[in-house]
């Protein structure tokens, strides 16, 4: 049944602005066989924007099609640039926000790297509990100060007296964000002074910069600063601050357990951005196809980044693998695998020379300087381009 009301504000002022059919439902699966990569589960992307609060969601999303298990890997910390970004985030939480002597719960901890940083931070004296169905690793570390569970965090975990709940890049994967936030709130029933820190992509940034590969099936819920704040207030949290971080690409919310006014924000700007994006997407896809063809005339072409952005770009622009030779990624677990949907091979940077690649399209310009230094140190000559050029 089609959703006819906004999952955040329950208003019916909804507009369809993007339709993509039969797209891979997973972008971050580790697929070791090219045939299996081309035969992945698919679904439709039917993006709606709420004219009242600015929330964006996939009306055609089907949770049953997804499977977050051991084969799922969205690790980004293999990049020194991103790892330094995480270090800065941890430093800010501990030093500015005073996250010290705390029991920390991380919802959707992935492989646990961020929670380890929070617990290991010098002088923080923190302990942590990580929850994620895709977690693989030891259940207990650091003499019991760090514990992991391969499951979801919900009200059944209320026995953990959490001082802080952190959740990074999870809520965009959930079709009912209020339900998840209320579940977190229920788990904090005995923690009346608990604080929450959430990170999620910023849909305004995607629309303004026309980053067409940042819309994909896994991200079924996308927020503006206003709609994110509203969702938290409706779930029983006070919102202290919503900031734009990571060069504007992410939203970072700081809040606390409280009952506050649910005043509904009006966000008409994002509707205008969505309408403008909708009218331009087909042209942008044609432009990128032409750009790849031009690069191909000078030699083989690769993408740089085999995460969700690279997988989406490959499926949108080169579904038959006729233009892109391979996709580069620093994550050793993905190297040797294949892009879900298309079957493009995923390789280490050192493979570029052997494959005769002369150009690479960088999926995220934030990593430009890091990758240029990596290429220089390896003695690899490569024309590295991105969407900002």
Residues of the chain with confidence (pLDDT) below 70: 1, 68-77, 261-268, 388-389
- The pLDDT, as a whole number, for residue 71 is 64
**Other beta carbons within 10 Å of 174:** 18
Q: Identify each DSSP E strand in 38-102 by its residue range.
A: 42-50, 56-58
Q: Residue 111 and residue 148: Cα distance in Å, rounded?
A: 9
pLDDT of residue 258: 86
CA 178 to chain centre: 18
Residue 159's pLDDT is 87
Torsions phi, psi of 106, nearest 5?
-110, 120
Q: What are the structure tokens assigned to 351, written together?
A: 């493979």
Domain coordinates in residue numbering, the chain? 290-386
pLDDT at 4: 83
Rounded to two decimals, the pTM is 0.93
Measure the N-to-C terminal CA separation of the chain; round to a whole number of Å: 42
* DSSP result, 198-214: EEEEBHHHHHHHT-GGG
With 0-12 CB in 10 A as exposed, 13-18 as middle and 19+ as buried, what is 62?
Answer: middle
Nearest of 185, 160, 181 to residue 170 by alpha carbon:
181
Alpha-carbon gap, residue 58 to 222, rounded angstroms: 9
- pLDDT tens digits, residue range 164-206? 999 999 999 999 999 999 999 999 988 889 999 999 999 999 9
**In angstroms, how far apart are the furthest CA atoms of the chain?**
64
Question: What is the pLDDT at residue 189?
Answer: 86
35-41: Cβ within 8 A, 24+ apart: 35/343, 36/338, 37/337, 37/338, 37/339, 37/340, 37/341, 37/342, 37/343, 38/341, 38/342, 38/343, 40/340, 40/341, 41/65, 41/66
Residue carrying structure tokens 């002369």: 358
HSE of 364 in the Cβ direction (CA atoms, 13 Å)? 25
> Which CATH class name applies to 290-386?
alpha beta
**3-state class (DSSP) for residue 257:** strand
């Amino acid at each position: 049944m089609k959703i006819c009301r906004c999952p955040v504000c329950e208003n019916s002022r909804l507009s369809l602005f993007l339709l993509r059919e039969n797209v891979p439902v997973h972008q971050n699966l580790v697929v070791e066989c090219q045939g299996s990569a081309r035969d992945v589960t698919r679904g439709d992307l039917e993006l709606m924007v709420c004219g009242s609060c600015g929330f964006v969601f996939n009306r055609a999303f089907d949770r049953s099609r997804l499977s977050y298990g051991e084969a799922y890997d969205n690790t980004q910390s293999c990049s020194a640039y991103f790892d330094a970004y995480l270090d800065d985030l941890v430093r800010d939480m501990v030093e500015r926000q005073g996250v010290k002597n705390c029991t920390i719960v991380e919802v959707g901890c992935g492989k646990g790297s961020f929670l380890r940083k929070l617990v290991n931070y010098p002088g923080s004296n923190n302990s942590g509990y990580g929850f994620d169905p895709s977690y693989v690793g030891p259940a207990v570390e650091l003499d019991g100060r760090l514990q992991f569970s391969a499951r979801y965090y919900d009200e059944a975990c209320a026995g953990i007296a959490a001082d802080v709940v952190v959740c990074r890049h999870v809520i965009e994967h959930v079709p009912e964000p209020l339900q998840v936030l209320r579940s977190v709130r229920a788990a904090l029933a005995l923690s009346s002074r608990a604080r929450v820190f959430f990170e999620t992509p910023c849909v305004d940034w995607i629309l303004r910069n026309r980053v067409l590969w940042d819309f994909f099936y896994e991200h079924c819920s996308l927020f503006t600063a206003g709609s994110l704040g509203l969702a938290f207030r409706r779930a029983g949290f006070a919102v202290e601050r919503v900031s734009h971080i990571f060069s504007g690409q992410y939203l970072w919310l700081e809040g606390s357990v409280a009952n506050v006014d649910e005043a509904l924000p009006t966000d008409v700007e994002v509707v205008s951005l969505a309408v403008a994006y909708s009218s331009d997407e087909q042209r942008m896809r044609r432009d990128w196809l032409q750009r790849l063809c031009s690069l191909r005339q000078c030699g083989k072409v690769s993408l740089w980044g085999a995460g969700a952005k690279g997988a989406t770009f490959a499926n949108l622009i080169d579904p038959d693998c006729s233009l892109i030779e391979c996709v580069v990624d620093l994550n050793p677990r993905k190297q040797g695998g294949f892009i879900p949907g298309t079957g493009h091979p995923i390789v280490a940077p050192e493979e570029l020379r052997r494959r005769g690649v002369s150009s690479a399209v960088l999926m995220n310009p934030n990593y430009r300087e890091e990758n240029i230094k990596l290429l220089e140190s390896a003695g690899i000559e490569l024309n590295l381009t991105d969407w900002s050029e």
